[in-house]
Amino acid sequence: MAETPIAKEVSENKKLPAAQERFMVRGDSFAYADIDVTMPVGHTVDDALKPEYWALHAHKMMRPQFNSGPDWSGAIIYLRTEDHAFYAQLYVRAVRQASLEVQLIGEPTIFGPANVDTAGYEVRWNVGKRGFDVIRKSDRMLVVGGDKMRTREDAQEWIDAAKKAA
């Protein structure tokens, strides 16, 4: 896969957190499962392509012990991030004890700018407000809360206006 803005912080020890709301099987799945995954801010598609990323959820996809059903190979995983930075789909090729072999389907869709030209400000995702906080770097003061900045583009527009006014 070509180098993308979302692949800049790949870490060897990142794993999808074990919380149930991070890994949800759709109830309408039939022959093959559809799985919605919400990745934490800072996790990348390249992280999700590593087998060990799925260590805390792979057991949910293994063949049931008490019947002859198959494992969930063939499932489609729909990746999203909390800050809505990108969307991607993965195909599950193999289920192992503590890992999944997955393959990217198509290219990820990246939403908004990959980076914000901060010019003296820091833009940070606020989980509780489900938006972006804008913080002045000089004194670490919150200047605009995440309740008003829903997208990275909103934060960039506010910073651009602040730069013009200065």
Lowest average pLDDT, out of 2-11, 53-62, 83-92, goes to 2-11
80 plus 24 within the same structural domain? yes
C-alpha R_g of the chain: 19
> Is 157 domain-assigned?
yes
Name residue, tokens 């192992």. Answer: 96
Domain that holds residue 66: 5-110
> Is 83 domain-assigned?
yes
Q: Which segments of 50-151 does DSSP mark as H helices, in order?
A: none
Phi, psi of 145 (to 5 degrees): -85, 160
- pLDDT value for 166: 66
> Is 76 domain-assigned?
yes
Mean pLDDT of all residues in 9-35: 78
More confident residue, 48 or 9: 48
**Residue pair 59/98 in contact by the 8 Å Cβ criterion:** yes
> Is 75 domain-assigned?
yes
Q: For 112-122, how does the pLDDT look when each residue is reduced to its tens digit (9 = 90+)?
A: 766 666 778 88
102 plus 140 within the same structural domain? no
Give the CA count within 13 Å in the CB-facing half-sphere of 160.
8
Q: Which helix (H) or strand (E) holds 104?
A: strand 100-110
140 plus 74 within the same structural domain? no
The CA angle 45-120-153, to the nearest 5 degrees, is: 45
Q: Which segments of the chain does DSSP mark as H helices, in order?
A: 45-48, 152-165
> Is 17 domain-assigned?
yes
More confident residue, 33 or 31: 33
The pTM assigned to this predicted structure is 0.72
Check pLDDT > 50 for residue 40: yes
Q: In this prediction, what percent of the chain has a pLDDT beyond 70? A: 87
Check pLDDT > 90 for residue 164: no
